[in-house]
Every structure is written in structure tokens, then in C-alpha cells.
Amino acid sequence: AQSVTQPDIHITVSEGASLELRCNYSYGATPYLFWYVQSPGQGLQLLLKYFSGDTLVQGIKGFEAEFKRSQSSFNLRKPSVHWSDAAEYFCAVGPDRGSTLGRLYFGRGTQLTVWP
């Protein structure tokens, strides 16, 4: 069955520092992978997605992620973090063949705190 692991529950970085959020997935075929961001009390917003092709994908707000099949990973990166990036970040995988397209499996999330 599909699953997503985000090993870091909480990460703290200083403003201007680089950021990497980890995501590992379990999926039987070529995965479709997503990163979402959620500000407090808000819905989830899509940052970027991967379904095939170039393993380095660019997203909104200066984020990028790299798909590494050999490591079953899809880590999110940003070279210089801004205070407004403080939020919760969710990695997701799916859909499974036979499931409704859009039926995603989410990780537990990583809470990002940014120090000024």
C-alpha cells in the first residue's frame, strides 16, 4: 500500500538559511508526488508536483524538489528561507491505479519555524 513518511515533525531555520524537508514514499509503480503547504487555519496549497520526466521540479514561492527513485525520496528544498515560509508542509503520493484520481496519501507533515 502507498505510504509517505516525513521524518521531521518540526524544523527550525534562520531567515536566509537554506531548507530541506525530507519525504520518503512507498509506492508500487512510478509515483505521482506532491508537496503542499498549509498556513495556520487555512487549506492546503499545492507547491509542486512530479509525475514523470525531469527529476528536479520547480514550484511556486521559490521551492524545488528532487525525485530520487533509488532512495524513494522526494525532498523539498529552498535556497533561502523567508519568514513568510513558516507553515506546515505535507508530502503526498498517489493515486493508486484503480483509485479515484486525486485520492492522495499524505505524510504527517513537517512544521517549519523561521527565526528572524
Partner 1 sequence: ETGVTQTPRHLVMGMTNKKSLKCEQHLGHNAMYWYKQSAKKPLELMFVYNFKEQTENNSVPSRFSPECPNSSHLFLHLHTLQPEDSALYLCASSQGWDRKNTEAFFGQGTRLTVV
CB atoms within 10 A of CB 5: 14
Task: Name residues whose C-beta falls within 8 Å of residue 67's C-beta, 6 or more positions apart in sequence.
Answer: 33, 50, 55, 56, 57, 73, 74
50 binds partner 1 (CB under 8 A): no
User: Residue 44 or 81: which CB sits closer to partner 1?
Assistant: 44
Interface residue with partner 1, options 11, 15, 19, 49 (CB under 8 A): 49
44 binds partner 1 (CB under 8 A): yes
CB of 58 to partner 1, least distance (A): 15
> What distance in Å separates the CA atoms of residue 98 and residue 31, rounded to the nearest whole number?
14
CA gap 67, 74 in Å, rounded: 5
Shortest Å distance, C-beta 116 to partner 1 = 26
- The answer to the question of residue 69 lying near partner 1 (CB under 8 A) is no
In this chain, which of 81, 90, 91, 114 binds partner 1, going by CB under 8 A? 90
Per-residue cell: 86: 513558516
Cα 94 from Cα 28, distance rounded (Å): 10
Q: Which residues bind partner 1 (CB under 8 A)?
A: 32, 34, 36, 41-46, 49, 51-52, 90, 94-95, 100-104, 106-109
